[in-house]
Amino acid sequence: MMTSQWSPRMAEHVEDAKKVVCELHAELIKWNLVVWTAGNVSQRVRGIDGAEDVLVIKPSGVPYDRLTPADMVVCDLDANLIIGEHSPSSDTAAHAYVYRHMPEVGGVTHTHSTYATAWAAIGEEVPCVLTMMADEFGGPVPIGPFALIGDDSIGRGIVETLSKSNSSAVLMQNHGPFTIGEDAEASVKTAAMVEEVSQTIWAARQMGDLIPIPQEKIDSLYYRYQNVYGQHSEGASDSE
């Protein structure tokens, strides 16, 4: 793909996405979701004026406190580098696979946050025993299969697992959480939520037996949160 063929509008959208993605990496630090250079956020830029979709993601191995919008790299949805002076994140192929196979997804985040990654290390899903989990995930946060980094194996595991779940997050076994959203900001929010519930439910399990929520109640809570809560309706009054 030749960027010289992009229209001014498409080029502007890409530059805007680079700023957004750079800023969102600071949110990973803020919410204690990553250490050193681990983790990554990407955003899909939907093609306009004849251009194809691309993704913007951080470069590999550059410390967070040194990242600038100019450092962000742009790849096509086959993970080929289009723009950037650095090599793309080692997880780029996984992000690209998600975008190719889940057209509704506009953002992907990967972290190694402590508690979520601990659940991944034991290969156990995070059970849905909190109303906030029912709201956000519509059930447990599922475990995805073990996969090696470097090709689209992780991406395949993400897509296969989430296709069978309401969840916008998956814990890849022995690796860590990947989250999706309508845009990059939404996927970062979900990453923070995954860590929050992973820690809370771990703590609860140290205190005693977890109390399941019946599936019909989970379904009701999920429907309300996704369709009524917040600015969806004037009738929403939940303070969460």
pLDDT digits (tens, 9 = 90+) for 196-213: 999 999 999 999 999 999
For residue 209, being part of any structural domain is answered with yes
- Taking a C-beta distance cutoff of 8 angstroms, is the pair 72, 56 a contact? yes
Taking residues 11-19, what's their average pLDDT?
A: 98
Q: What is the pLDDT of residues 131-164, one digit of tens each?
A: 999 999 999 999 999 999 988 999 999 999 999 9
Q: How far apart, in Å, are the Cα atoms of 237 and each of 134, 190, 225, 226, 233?
A: 17, 22, 11, 14, 9
Checking phi first, is residue 79 left (phi over 0); if not, alpha (psi -120 to 50) or beta?
A: left
Into how many domains does the chain fold?
Answer: 1
Residue 237 has pLDDT above 50, yes or no: no
Q: Is residue 240 part of a domain?
A: no
Structure tokens at 61: 């191995």
3-state secondary structure 157-198: HHHHHHCCCCCCEEEECCCEEEEEECCHHHHHHHHHHHHHHH
- Which CATH number fits the domain that encloses residue 97? 3.40.225.10
Residue with tokens 């004026």: 49
The string of DSSP codes covering 129-159 is: -SHHHHHHHSS-BPEEPP--TTSTHHHHHHH
Mean pLDDT of the chain: 94
Judge whether 239 lies within some domain. Answer: no
pLDDT of residue 179 exceeding 60, the answer is yes
pLDDT confidence band for 231 (50 / 70 / 90): low
Q: Active site residue: 25, 175, 222, 225, which one? A: 175
Active-site option among 53, 86, 101, 112 = 112
pLDDT of 34 above 80:
yes
Dihedral sign for Cα 194, 196, 198, 204, please: negative
Q: Which of 71, 76, 219, 229 is catalytic?
A: 229
- Going 186 to 180 to 138 to 177, the CA torsion angle's sign is negative
Instruction: Tell me, yes or no, whether 28 lies in a domain.
Output: yes
Question: Tokens standing for 106?
Answer: 């506009």
101 an active-site residue?
A: no
Q: Which of 135, 152, 222, 225 is catalytic?
A: 135
Q: What is the pTM assigned to this prediction?
A: 0.94
C-alpha dist (Å) from residue 118 to 101, 202, 221: 28, 9, 27
Domain assignment present for residue 30? The answer is yes
- 108: pLDDT strictly greater than 70: yes
Return the residue matching tokens 């991944």. Answer: 120
Q: What is the mean pLDDT of residues 69-79?
A: 98
Question: 221 is in which domain, residue-wise?
Answer: 3-232
Percent of the chain residues topping a pLDDT of 70 = 95
Return the closest-CA partner of residue 193 out of 179, 204, 203. 179
Please give the average per-residue pLDDT across 187-199, as a whole number.
98
Whole-Å CA distances, 228 to 55, 135, 194:
31, 11, 22
238 falls within a domain: no
Res 2: pLDDT: 54
Query: Taking 80 as the threshold, does the pLDDT of residue 12 lie above it?
Result: yes
C-alpha Rg value of the chain to the nearest Å: 18
Distance CA 190, CA 197 (A): 11
Q: Among this protein's residues, is 110 annotated catalytic?
A: yes
For the question of residue 229 being annotated catalytic, the response is: yes
Q: Tell me, yes or no, if 175 is annotated catalytic.
A: yes
In the residue annotation, 219 being an active-site residue is answered as no
Q: Which of 25, 95, 110, 152 is catalytic?
A: 110
pLDDT at res. 150: 84
pLDDT of 105 reads: 98
Report pLDDT for 239: 40
184 falls within a domain: yes
Q: How far is CA 138 from CA 40, 167, 218, 239, in A?
A: 25, 6, 6, 19
Cα→Cα distances 132→114, 188, 198, 231, Å:
20, 17, 12, 18
Model confidence at 223, pLDDT cuts 50, 70, 90, reads very high
